[in-house]
Amino acid sequence: MLTTTTTRVLEPGDLDAALAVLDRDPVANAFVAARVQVAGLDPWRLGGEMWGWYVHGRLEALCYAGANLVPICAGPEAVRAFADRARRAGRRCSSIVGPAESTGALWSLLEPHWGPAREVRARQPLMVARAMPADVDPDPLVRRVRKDEMELILPACVAMFTEEVGVSPLAGDGGLLYQARVAELVGSGRSFARIENGKVVFKAEIGAATARACQIQGVWVAPEHRGRGLSVTGMAAVLDHALREVAPVASLYVNDYNAAARAAYRRVGFRETGAFMSVLF
């Protein structure tokens, strides 16, 4: 019997089916799930389209197509369908990111049309923590960033982003979208920092958040303060907030070559459960 498959842009009425797919892996899908739960599937509110891949009329896989292209629960056939749609639409994203296997397959199909990429990070371990470490005390000086401290936290965020991604987030639109995102995290109480003498020495954010999982991002220690163990105790403080106030599981993903960061996260109790991949343009 022939398998009938189709791919289309999802509409608001497809929300429950989309959430069911996202819920298959609430940790890996936290970033997209959080956006969908807040914005629904309307492209204007979501910041991009959600593509659905159907088998015999049943929604089996998704692909978020916005500033990032993100394959979700996508096997080989779904990846081929999403790659075909992305190729015909042309590149509109600044990165492709997601589970390493499906993202790698997607990029292999798109690279002849979209390549070369500025950078490919083929393996970024996905790390998960479900409990606080018994032998690490959270840094008591790490706290929520206040709304009146935007002028302090923004330079640290820009420095972290530039160091991590290789380009400044202030390019293009002058940083308006990036500043709005930082302000959103501060306003929602999900931006944390240790501030000494008016300067940020450690920071991190709880970025994506659902009732089932949240994702910690933007971990950064000011260069002149590295080597003091602030990343370990600081992460313990952020993890404590995340597990007590946000979700029962906290995750993050990190570059495989960043041995120091991976060691710090393991010290706090994070364990590798999979891998992401990022293709940066």
The per-residue pLDDT for range 248-273, each reduced to its tens digit, is 999 999 999 999 999 999 999 999 99
In this predicted structure, what is the pLDDT of residue 213?
Answer: 97
Where residue 206 sits, what CATH number does that domain have?
Answer: 3.40.630.30
Q: 254 in a domain, yes or no? A: yes
Within a domain: 248: yes
Which tens digit of pLDDT belongs to each residue from 218-230?
999 999 999 999 9
Domain-embedded: residue 188: yes
Domain count, the chain: 2
Lowest mean pLDDT among 52-61, 104-113, 173-182, 242-251: 173-182
For the residues 26-48, what does the mean pLDDT come to? 96
Same domain, 110 and 153: no
| Distance between start and end Cα atoms, the chain | 41
For 35, the domain range is: 5-116
Only one residue has tokens 């041995």, namely 259
Q: Rounded mean pLDDT of the chain?
A: 95
Band of pLDDT at residue 204, cut at 50, 70 and 90 = very high
Same domain, yes or no: 173 and 243? yes
Among the candidates 77, 100, 116, a domain finishes at 116
If asked whether residues 102 and 163 sit together in one domain, one would say no
CA 219 to chain centre: 12
Among the candidates 116, 151, 185, a domain finishes at 116
Average pLDDT over residues 177-187: 94
Q: Report yes or no on 136 lying in a domain.
A: no
Q: Do residues 203 and 268 both lie within one domain?
A: yes
Amino acid present at 251: S
Q: Tokens 């002849």 identify what position?
A: 112
Question: DSSP H helical segments within 115-175, as ranges?
Answer: 150-165
101 and 173 co-located in one domain? no
- Residue 1 confidence (pLDDT): 53
